[in-house]
Amino acid sequence: MLTENRYRLPILLGLAHGVSDGAAGWLLGSLVHDLSLNQVMLLVLLYNVLAFGAQPVAGLLADRWQRPRLAAIAGLCCNGAALLLAPWEARLAVLLAGLGSALFHVGGGGLALCVTPGRASGPGLFAAPGVLGLALGGALA
C-alpha cells in the first residue's frame, strides 16, 4: 500500500522532483526569449551534459560521504539559485541548474531506494513526476 510510512519520503521527493524538473524546463524554455538559437542550443547541451553526465560523479561522492540527503538538498538549493539568477545571468543559471539536477537526482533517487529496499515502487514514485514537471515547465516558458 502506498499509505505506508516508508512511501512518504519517496512521494515527497517525487513532488519535489516534479517541481525541480519543472523549474529546469521553464528555465531552458525561457532562454529563447533573450538569446540566439545557437546560444540556446549550447546552453541546453550544457544543461544535459551536467544534469545527466555529472550523475555518476555526484553518486560516487554521495556514496563516499554517505550523504544522499545532503546531495538532494544541495541540488534543490542549486536549482533555486539558478531560478533567482536566471533573469540576469542565464549561463550561470543553466550551469547551476545542471549541477543541481545531477545532485538532486542522485540524492533523491538514493533516498527513495534506501527507504524501500528491494522494491521498485520507491524509486518509481520519485522518478515519475520529473517527466511531467519537465514537460509542463517547458510548456509554461
Is 42 a residue whose pLDDT tops 70?
A: yes
Would you state the pLDDT for residue 6?
Answer: 84
Could you say which DSSP state residue 117 is in?
A: T
Is 1 a residue whose pLDDT tops 60?
A: no
Mean predicted lDDT score pLDDT of the chain: 94
CA atoms within 13 A on the CB side of 8: 3
**87 burial type by CB count under 10 A (0-12 exposed, 13-18 middle, 19+ buried):** exposed
Opening angle at CA 129, ends 31 and 78, nearest 5: 50
Is 4 a residue whose pLDDT tops 80?
A: no
Would you state the pLDDT for residue 138?
Answer: 85
Would you state the pLDDT for residue 104?
Answer: 98
Would you state the pLDDT for residue 141?
Answer: 84
More confident residue, 134 or 15: 15
Nearest alpha-carbon partner for 113 in 21, 18, 6, 15: 6
Terminal C-alpha separation, the chain: 37
The grid cell for 16 is 519535489
- Which position has the grid cell 534543490? 76
Indicate if the alpha-carbon torsion angle 10, 15, 18, 21 is positive or negative. negative
Q: Across residues 112-127, what is the average pLDDT?
A: 92
Specify the pTM: 0.92
Lowest average pLDDT, out of 59-68, 76-85, 129-138, goes to: 129-138
Q: What are the pLDDT digits (tens) for 24-39?
A: 999 999 999 989 999 9
pLDDT grade for 3, boundaries at 50, 70 and 90: low
Nearest alpha-carbon partner for 124 in 136, 112, 134, 115: 112
Q: What are the pLDDT digits (tens) for 77-104?
A: 999 999 999 999 999 999 999 999 999 9
